[in-house]
Chains A and B, each alone.
Chain A
């Protein structure tokens, strides 16, 4: 049974950074990508990009390019998302999700990490 377990809720000040982790169990990173999706209050789902841990290749949504970094540690099957220069608009629930490379859909999701940006 594949599980993605994310780190806990964060409260951050504007202009600071947040780093969210996503540990996979029940399978390896081989042949899979990890995508990052957020849901802002009252809004829908927004794709931020993803990483293929086996190769370290990343793909960032244009909106977040230059402000977000995806990394992965294969030894611990953990992926990370770091978002910089936070504003109140970044207050959201952040999800990691697994995709089979090339499938373009997400079959397993983490439980979500609430990030609140407030002064």
Chain B
């Protein structure tokens, strides 16, 4: 099981808005560690979509936005387009009980554009 919890799938029609949640705990997101989001389109490598909870790297459309609150984070995609279809992953840092830090990913959410 993934340390960060995401819904397995979301869907929406072209032009609509979808939101993908990422739920963590007090040892990762709730401890103040940042959340980052990646987009993986079919047959390609993951691509950084959002860094530091809300920051869009150069070239990422402003249709993509991130937020974080408490032990959770969200990715919103507005104006859905057919080529947004793919898998989306959240990622954070987890300090764990042993104090040995590790990078952790959500299980991924498959976005289907209807």
Partner of A47, one of B57, B102, B108: B102
State which residues 67-114 of B face A: CB under 8 Å. 89, 91-93, 100, 102-108
Given known A-B contacts A44-B107, A105-B34, A109-B46, A62 and B102 have beta carbons under 8 A apart: yes
B11 at the binding interface (Cβ < 8 Å): no
When distances are taken between beta carbons in the complex, the residues of chain B under 8 Å from A97 are 46
Interface residues on A, range: 20 to 34
Asked if residues A105 and B48 are in contact (CB atoms below 8 Å), the reply is: yes
Q: Does B64 count as interface, using CB distance less than 8 angstroms? A: no
- Asked if A32 is an interface residue, CB under 8 A from chain B, the answer is no
B47 contacts partner chain A, Cβ-Cβ < 8 Å: yes
A107 CA to B47 CA, complexed, in Å: 8
Interface centre among A35, A45, A61, A112 (most CB of B within 10 A): A45
Q: Does B51 contact A (CB under 8 A)?
A: yes
Determine which of A43, A95, A104, A112 lies in contact with B33 in the assembled complex, contact meaning CB atoms within 8 Å: A104
Which of A46, A103, A107 is the one whose CB lies under 8 Å from B105? A46
The residue from B34, B47, B105 contacting A45, defined by CB atoms under 8 A apart: B105
Among B34, B45, B46, B108, which residue has its beta carbon within 8 angstroms of that of A104?
Answer: B34
State in angstroms the CA–CA spacing of A104 and B48 once bound together: 12
Expressed in whole angstroms, the minimum distance between the Cβ of A108 and any Cβ of chain B is: 8
Contact B45 A112 (CB under 8 A): yes
Question: Are A105 and B51 CB-contacts (below 8 A) given A44-B89, A44-B108?
Answer: yes
